[in-house]
């Protein structure tokens, strides 16, 4: 028994925070969700979810079960556990921890003895001890490890993944001391099937960076080999498909137009930032970043080659981008390579439109990119670029069009397409 009204408060109700709040509510915990965005809170309280993995029905059901959402931070003092899931973006390629610091300052104003403070936001090793805790201690009278518990647990949200969700994805947890670790492990075991402990917060912070840097480097490797294979007149897709038949020692990665989303393009920069601080740059990571960042330009160069082979001018041509989300079957365009491709094409004087059933609008700078309402008009284009192979597209027979198709996804659905 304790004196807290809420079992957990979640600070930041975006792609990570809202699923956590929903899962905790479904696990019969009393949950307070806090976000400084009053409009977001108002929409959520009306049962309108802006997070793709959470349906309106799921949100409404959680609200009926007692999920309490507010932009008033005073309720933090009534919560036994506080989980921070705020954004940690890059600003001028440098880690921006302003949201974490702001959350820590807010917590400090309302902190009570024996509360459990957990950071889930992706960051560089050392943030929990070097940034989060000092801000709380400097703005309150309480001391970490004495008056309150603290630790770090990396989020592992994969939008659109129907197999691995918040509950069944193993959760890595850490604490600043044994008592903190015990408390944090006990909390997550109430809402997640499998909880894995590591010895310290730096190790837990590094886990997230390793997971996404591993993918980042291997994607860069296969992208560089795709470029090389094109120069050598080798079918990279045949090579990949043959290589992945090996039952050991090889994991298949597929080339594409670049990397997108809120993790892979961003997280390696946190690792590079930290290693530069100690005078040891991570050369693999920085090279991978360079290769993956160059892929949108490479795709445009391939489109230019295609148009030249067709003896058509590139400038003033009409190109349709099929799918602009960073991965299939979701509408998330954060860091999507499509944005760089579209910007490059516009700069070259190409008339660009896109079709994506999951994305209602996109902007390049201040310019709105025109959207096609359907695929009925594809014959009006000089070239089609398949950027995101949404499952919805498989219902359309692309063999009926004479418009050339360039496929950056390697999907088997586009039989006559030229592939990256």
263 annotated active-site:
yes
**CA 297 centroid distance within chain:** 22
First to last CA, the chain: 60
Alpha-carbon span 13 to 37, nearest angstrom: 9
- Write down the number of H helices and E strands in the chain: 12, 18
The catalytic position among 22, 229, 263, 338 is 263
- Please spell the DSSP secondary structure of 145-186, one letter per residue: TTTBEEEE------TT-SSS-TTTS-EEE--SSHHHHHHHHH
Write the DSSP symbol of residue 144. Answer: B
**CA 218 centroid distance within chain:** 17
Alpha-carbon span 413 to 390, nearest angstrom: 11
- Please spell the DSSP secondary structure of 347-385, one letter per residue: HTT-EEEEE-TT----EETTEEPEE-S-STTGGG-SEEE
**Mind telling me the catalytic residues?**
263
């Amino acid at each position: 028994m304790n004196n807290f009204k809420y079992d957990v408060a979640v600070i930041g109700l975006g792609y990570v925070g809202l699923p956590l709040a929903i899962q905790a509510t479904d696990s019969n915990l009393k949950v307070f969700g806090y976000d400084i965005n009053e409009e977001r809170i108002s929409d959520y309280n009306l049962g309108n979810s802006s997070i793709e993995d959470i349906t309106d029905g799921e949100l409404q059901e959680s609200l009926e079960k007692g999920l309490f959402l507010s932009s008033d931070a005073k309720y933090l003092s009534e919560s036994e556990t506080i989980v921070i899931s705020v954004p940690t973006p890059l600003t001028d390629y440098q880690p921006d921890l302003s949201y974490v610091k702001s959350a820590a300052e807010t917590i400090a104003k309302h902190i009570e003895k024996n509360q459990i403070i957990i950071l889930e936001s992706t960051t560089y090793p050392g943030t929990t001890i070097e940034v989060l805790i000092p801000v709380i201690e400097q703005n309150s009278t309480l001391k970490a490890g004495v008056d309150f518990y603290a630790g770090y647990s990396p989020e592992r949200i994969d939008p659109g993944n129907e197999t691995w969700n918040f509950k069944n994805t193993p959760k890595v947890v850490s604490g600043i001391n044994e008592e903190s670790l015990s408390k944090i492990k006990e909390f997550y075991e109430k809402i997640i099937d499998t909880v894995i402990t590591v010895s310290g917060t730096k190790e837990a912070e590094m886990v997230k960076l390793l997971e996404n840097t591993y993918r980042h480097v291997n994607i860069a490797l296969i992208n560089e080999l795709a470029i090389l294979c094109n120069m050598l007149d080798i079918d990279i897709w045949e090579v990949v498909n043959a290589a992945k038949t090996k039952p050991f020692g090889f994991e298949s990665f597929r080339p594409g137009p670049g990397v997108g989303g809120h993790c892979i393009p961003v997280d390696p920069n946190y690792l590079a930032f930290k290693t530069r601080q100690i005078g040891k740059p991570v050369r693999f990571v920085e090279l991978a970043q360079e290769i993956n960042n160059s892929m949108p330009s490479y795709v445009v160069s391939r489109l230019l080659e295609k148009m030249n082979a067709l003896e058509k001018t590139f400038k003033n041509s009409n190109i349709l981008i099929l799918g602009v989300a960073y991965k299939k079957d979701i509408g998330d365009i954060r860091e999507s390579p499509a944005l760089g491709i579209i910007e490059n094409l516009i700069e070259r004087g190409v008339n660009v439109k896109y079709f994506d059933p999951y994305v209602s609008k996109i902007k390049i700078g201040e310019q709105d990119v025109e959207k096609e309402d359907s695929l009925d008009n594809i014959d009006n284009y000089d070239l089609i670029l398949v950027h995101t192979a949404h499952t919805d597209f498989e219902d359309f027979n692309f063999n009926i069009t004479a418009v050339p198709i360039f496929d950056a996804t390697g999907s088997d659905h586009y039989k006559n397409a030229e592939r990256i």
